[in-house]
Structure formats: C-alpha cells, structure tokens
Chain A
C-alpha cells in the first residue's frame, strides 16, 4: 500500500476536511498517517521520513498556508526526500483569489501539486494520475 502523510498545517484547527481526506484516501487504497490539525511543516517532514511515505498531502483552510510552507524547499534540501510527492490544498490565501498567482507561488515553494479552493475528488484523481506517471 502506498503511504501518505496528511494533516492541517500551522495554527489551523479546521478539522472537517482533514477527516474527509483521511477517509477518501483510505477508500482509494492508501495507507494514511494523519497528523491532524495544528501540525508544523517540520513535523510533516519528520513523519514522512519515519514512515517512508511517498506522498505528503497538506491542507490549509484558514488562509495562513504561505507563512507556514515557505520553508519547504529549505527542509527538502536538508533531508533525503527524493521521490516524495508534495501536495497542498484548501484555502491557500486570504486576500488573493486568483489561482494563476497562487498556484505558481506554492510550486516555487516546492510543492508538486497545488489546489486552491478546489474539489477534493478532483485533487485526489490528479494525485493518482501523477503517481502513475512519476512513480
């Protein structure tokens, strides 16, 4: 089974999407390590290392994702994380609504797949297609 680490980043307590993501991933045959709400980026990376997960799926709902995820490429450079797919989704910003601005920004931070205010089903379909192609 492919392992996925998931959770909600930063000081973010919106838990409903997190539960849905956990269930949906399991239904799709993934082994899920759910770190829950209020999780720091370092904790996500550490969980990926300890579980040897192939996917890190982060949610952020309260609009603070940018501040919490900016350091992803720095962390990626400090650990051996080749082959891990980094994915983020939810409400990725507060003021800015334009996906054409938001998505490239998060890709620059080091995410492979970015979804701003988009449907979870579509996001997970995209993930599976991406995994087929890359792994």
Chain B
C-alpha cells in the first residue's frame, strides 16, 4: 500500500508522497486541521486513513515537570526517558529543594515523580503534596520506589502508578514510562484539541516527530556517509533537537538505547527567535563570532534574510556550546570524539554546507583548539524524516 507521510511542525507542514516532499508554512490564523486540508486536501483525499502516517511536533510537544530525589539517578533517568519519548522538558525539581522551588505558571501536560529503588523507605512526605497543590497539570504519574506507591495513591488524586524507573541495581528501566509518555500523545486526555482533530485523517497512531527520528537513528549510517560517534542536530522553528550516540558521554546511566535525545526549547529561529537572540547576546564568544562572520551586533535586531542566516549559524554554535563540557547539568558530550554532524530541519534549506562548516570550524578551533572538524552532512531533502516514517509505519 502506498503511504502518505505528514509532519506537523511548529512552523510548517511537510507532506511526503512517493519520495517527493512538499513544504508549507503554517497559517496560525487557522487551526491545524483546516490549514492542512486547505493546503494539501487534494493529496490527502487520495489516500485511505490506513495509508496516512502523521507525526507531529506542533505545540512544542508535551510539557513535563519532573520531581526526583537526586540529579544522578531519578532526575537524570526520568529526563532521559522523557527526551527520548519526544517530550520537551519544562522543569525539574530536586526534592530536597522543593520548598524553595517556584511552581511553573502554565498548565503542565504530565507531572512525573520518581525516586528510590523499590525497597527504599527514604521517601516522599507531605511537602510533595503541598507543592503539587500549587501546580496545574493534566496527568500525573509515579514511577518511583514501590514502597511509596501507597502514599501516592492515598494523597494524589488520579495518580498513575507504574514500574519504577530505577532498578534494584540502580540502573535505568525505561520501558513502562517511555511507553506511557509516547502514548499520551495519542490519548484524548491530552486536551490538545488541535492534534486530536487530526485523527479524522488517519487510522494510525500519531507519534511525536522526535520520537520517530530517535527510533531510526541506528539506520542513518545506511543512508548517509556518517561515522559513529555522530550527532544529529535538528534546528526547527521553535526547538532544537539533538540526537547523539551514547559513546559521546561518560556517565552512570546504562541504557539499551544507543542514541539519546536532548532538546533546547528556545533556540529556534522563528517562534523562539527572541530567546535565541537573547541567549546569543549573553554568550561569552558572541562578539568574536560575529566578527568572524563579518557582521556587527546590529544584525541581531534585523529581520532580513541575511539576519536569519546569521541566526541559524548562531544556533548551531550555541547548540554545540551548550552540549560541550561544563555547560549543561544534564549531559556533557565529548565533542572531541565526534566524527560526524548531521544537520536536518529548516536550516538545511537556508544555509549552505560552507556556512555550516564555517561555524563548526569556529567552535572547534576556538573552544576545543582542534584544527580538524567533524564531517558535516546536510539532510537537505528530509531523508531522515522520510526514512523514520517508513520505519515506524512498518513497525506500527
């Protein structure tokens, strides 16, 4: 059966039919469903709902609040699972500091509570319950010590208790929570009416785009000349996703997943442009970098094409900066070991390979004192996304 693949992004739609990709900027005046139908209605009408595969990263994905007992285990494990499930984290709280923590203002899609191996009694108390009263959320799950499950069900309404993400040997156990999080997207309880309406078009599950891509990472070397360890950087309109080989990190987290995902919520060039500019201005290398690119600081206030290109280059730089040593609490990548960087997403349509090499070159020379840079591969035709969709439709 011929398949039609559709990706709903924060900034544009992509539709792939028999290997040809059409791309449309989204019209935010209309809801997703009507917008999609007005632009690709004819194409869609030619396919049965069973042959239509949709994935989405619209609305920035799900928002999460993670409450855990330590940075090394519960918070790190839950964060890892959430990212790999396609979630864009909002916030995390270390339980010992919960009384000082200001609860997030907006509505949270899912609160995740973790901590402790199953027989650890050292657990949560009423401080948790008091804090939760100040948080607005749709869903709440408990994936911590079995010893505290009863406390949770007694005090938290509608809490869903699932398998502990920390095994008795202190290792990561991700199946149950990962399953739950990827399915949240598909459940009505989400309350994201816009996404829900898309089920009128397809008989298949709608997965988060980053989850689909992460699942297909292992096959990328079959399609592109990449050499492990590599990273995939997807700079979109609202967020920037990075999928990286676990060979690039050294930490206690033992997982079966050879590639993990990390997301920076506010480094996109369209929807989160202001934040990107703000982050750039506060970076210690920014002036040197702008001079190296032959422009002045004023470019950051412009709205021209040239300004967009510079911002895209800056976002590549900032992503590398943020994942390199000592700039990130959650994970540090040993970029010295990196062999290839694959770039995908909107930027590959705008920047040339030379412009990408220029900026990566600056990073490697200036920050790592390297003369050679990893090979850069541009996924300009969204091959990775198409391949990921194909893979997931076989499995699903």
Residues in chain A within 8 A of chain B (CB atoms): 33, 35, 38-39, 42-43, 45-47, 49-52, 78-80
Contact = CB atoms under 8 A, between A and B. Distances in A.
Contacts of A45: 70
Contact of B96 (A33, A51, A78): A78
A29 to B, nearest CB: 16
Contact of A52 (B71, B74, B116, B250): B116
Given A47-B170, A80-B96, A52 B69 contact: no
Contact of A46 (B73, B119, B120, B122): B73
A46 B116 contact: no
* Residue with the highest number of chain B CB atoms closer than 10 Å, among A38, A47, A50, A51: A50
Dominant secondary structure of chain A at its interface with chain B: helix
Given A47-B170, A80-B96, A52 B121 contact: yes
Interface in B40-61: none
B96 A46 contact: no
Contacts of A42: 71-72
Given A33-B170, A42-B71, A50 B121 contact: no
Given A35-B252, A50-B170, A79 B96 contact: yes
Contacts of B166: 50
9 contacts: A35-B252, A45-B70, A46-B73, A49-B70, A49-B122, A50-B170, A51-B170, A52-B120, A52-B121
A50 B96 contact: no
A51 B117 contact: yes
Nearest to A38: B250
A33 B74 CA distance: 16
Nearest to A80: B96
Nearest to A81: B122
A38 B250 CA distance: 10
Nearest to B169: A33
A50 B252 contact: no
B69 A49 contact: yes
B252 A43 contact: yes
Nearest to A43: B72
Q: Which of B70, B96, B120, B250 has the most CB of A within 10 A?
A: B70
Contact of B70 (A33, A38, A46, A80): A46
B115 interface: yes
Interface string B139-183: 000000000000000000000000000100110000000000000
Nearest to A7: B252
B116 A47 contact: no
A79 B169 CA distance: 22
A79 B116 CA distance: 14
Given A47-B170, A52-B117, 5 more contacts: A39-B252, A46-B70, A51-B170, A52-B119, A79-B96
B127 to A, nearest CB: 12
B71 A50 contact: no
Contacts of A47: 70, 72-73, 170
Contacts of A49: 69-70, 122
Contact of B74 (A43, A50, A80): A50
Would you list the 10 A-B pairs with minimal beta carbon distance, nearest first? A46-B70, A46-B72, A52-B120, A52-B122, A50-B73, A43-B72, A49-B70, A51-B117, A49-B69, A50-B116
A27 B138 CA distance: 49
Nearest to A50: B73
A49 B169 CA distance: 14
Contacts of B115: 50
Nearest to B70: A46
B115 to A, nearest CB: 7
Contacts of A43: 72, 252
Interface string B73-90: 110000000000000000
Instruction: Identify which of A42, A43, A45, A51 gathers the most chain B CB atoms within 10 Å of its CB.
Output: A51
Contacts of A78: 96
Nearest to B250: A38
Residue among A46, A47, A79 with most chain B CB within 10 A: A46
Interface string B201-237: 0000000000000000000000000000000000000
A46 B16 CA distance: 47
Contacts of B73: 46-47, 50
B340 to A, nearest CB: 27
